[in-house]
Amino acid sequence: MALYKNTMKSFSLSNIRERFPIFSQHPGLVYLDNAATTQRVDTMIEAMDTFYHKQNATVHRGVYELSATASQSFEACRTKVADFIGATSPGNIAFTKGTTESINIVASSFLRRKLRPGDNVVVSIMEHHANFIPWQMLCREVGAELRIIPISGNGDLDLGALEPLLDNRTRLVAITHISNLLGTFNPIEEVIALAHAKGVPVLIDAAQSGALYPMDVTQVDCDFLAFSGHKAFGPFGIGVLYTRQELKADIHPYTYGGGIVQNVMLDVTDFKPYPYNLDAGTPNIPGVIGLSAAIDFTRDLDRKACVEHVQGLSHLCRNELKRINGVKVLGEPLKTGGIVSFYIDDIHPHDVASFLDEDHIAVRAGVHCAQPLLDHLDVAATVRASFSIYNTKEEVEHLVHAVKELIKFWR
């Protein structure tokens, strides 16, 4: 299958795999932990390497040429990210450490100033801790209420339950695009429409969708969007916060220091406007350079073919695992990303992961930073297989075979 847009090159699945150096280091590796972090694409690694070898300098500080070039590349990436997610201007894009920090910024630097006792914030039961605890903490601090959208039996968002949760004291809805545990795709357009009808802004946690399902923020009309470079073939330690034009002025500095100021007087400081007011201290410049290269790579992909490929793998995995006696697959959402969570009766997920590791299959076992959801499902822990563009049908079969072998050994 050709997974690149550029049909002149006509790259196939094996070509794509070749773009990820980890697989030449570990030829037998079956990497199925893509929801935790994807592998890194060669051009991203080269871009960061080149920066350190040949272009290293800090940004926005020096007038010398190297620094000016670094600043240009840095700001060019803002424009690239803006284009990538359909933002109207690079001024909507702030660089952060990742999804977690992006969400925390919205909680501390935006919502904290607005939230009053008796107000409420709405999240869903399927949130990652990163999109749950910041709101829980803030609500507790202020005396506001954290309201939780439930899910239906198959693991889909219970959209009908959202409207009654929204009222004139709701200050924000924060929801994930794709559940990192069940793989559920949430109907964010509907969520946004319902919230906006009540004048409530919406934050989308796009950690799991940033790479293959980037949304057009202008089209879906969200107010904040957060994602991480490392889950989208890019570097660790870099992420993005998108903020709608009208709300930019309501985002205040998150940490204080150099780089964000306009005028520092003895008694008071004037700050630059968003997004430059979030860059206190020297920013992660190679991270931004690497993110830029990762976005170039992703933009060249034939997204439709990639999504079909990844969803095909996860459907195959789901169906094959479900047929094994003693295996339970969590949830059966209408639409899923490349994530399958399961457990085996009487075999703890950690033991499963240890044995799969012996077959060079890397999966995640545990709570997956989604304790509220697991508690709701009354499941203590799961094994999670998550797929990306370089995974293959043979790898799914390898996983399924290894699970069957383990059950035989255990019983």
Ligand X SMILES: Cc1ncc(COP(=O)(O)O)c(C=O)c1O
Out of another protein, ligand X, none, which partner does residue 341 contact, by CB within 5 to 8 A per kind? none
Q: Six-digit token pair at 355?
A: 């044995």
CB of 98 or CB of 201, closer to ligand X: 98
Least Å distance between CB 182 and ligand X?
11
CB of 98 or CB of 275, closer to ligand X: 98
DSSP 34-82: TTT-PPPPHHHHHHHHHIIIII---SSS--SHHHHHHHHHHHHHHHHHH
Active site residue 306: no
Least Å distance between CB 129 and ligand X?
8
* CA distances to 124, 352, 378, 387 from 375, in Å: 14, 21, 5, 25
CB atoms within 10 A of CB 229: 33
Q: Binding of ligand X at residue 100 (CB under 6 A)?
A: yes
Q: Who contacts 350 (Cβ-Cβ below 8 Å, separation ≥6)?
A: 365, 366, 381
* b/e burial code for range 155-186 (CB count within 10 A of at least 16 → b): bbbeeeebeebbeeebbbbbbbbbbbbbbbbb
Residue 109, SS3 per DSSP: helix
When binding is defined by CB under 6 A, the residue of 34, 38, 99, 386 that contacts ligand X is 99
Q: Binding of another protein at residue 130 (CB under 8 A)?
A: no
Catalytic one of 139, 306, 317, 369? 369
Out of another protein, ligand X, none, which partner does residue 131 contact, by CB within 5 to 8 A per kind? ligand X
CB of 202 or CB of 370, closer to another protein: 370
When binding is defined by CB under 8 A, the residue of 145, 296, 302, 359 that contacts another protein is 359
- Pick the piece of the chain touching another protein (CB under 8 A) from 52-60, 96-104, 281-289, 346-354: 346-354
Query: Bridge partners of 86?
Result: none
Question: Whole-angstrom Cα distance, residue 237 to residue 98?
Answer: 6
Query: Bridge partners of 341?
Result: 384
Task: Say how many residues touch another protein, by CB under 8 A.
Answer: 20
Q: Six-digit token pair at 170?
A: 């709701």
When binding is defined by CB under 8 A, the residue of 98, 183, 349, 372 that contacts another protein is 349
Out of ligand X, another protein, none, which partner does residue 359 contact, by CB within 5 to 8 A per kind? another protein
When binding is defined by CB under 6 A, the residue of 92, 170, 176, 391 that contacts ligand X is 176
- Please give the helix or strand (H or E) that residue 242 lies within, else none: strand 239-243
CB of 128 or CB of 309, closer to ligand X: 128
Closest by CA position to 79, among listed 68, 91, 67: 91
Q: Binding of another protein at residue 350 (CB under 8 A)?
A: yes
Q: List residues near ligand X by CB under 6 A.
A: 35, 98-100, 128, 130-131, 176, 180, 205, 207-208, 228, 369
Give the residue numbers annotated as catalytic, written as ranges: 369
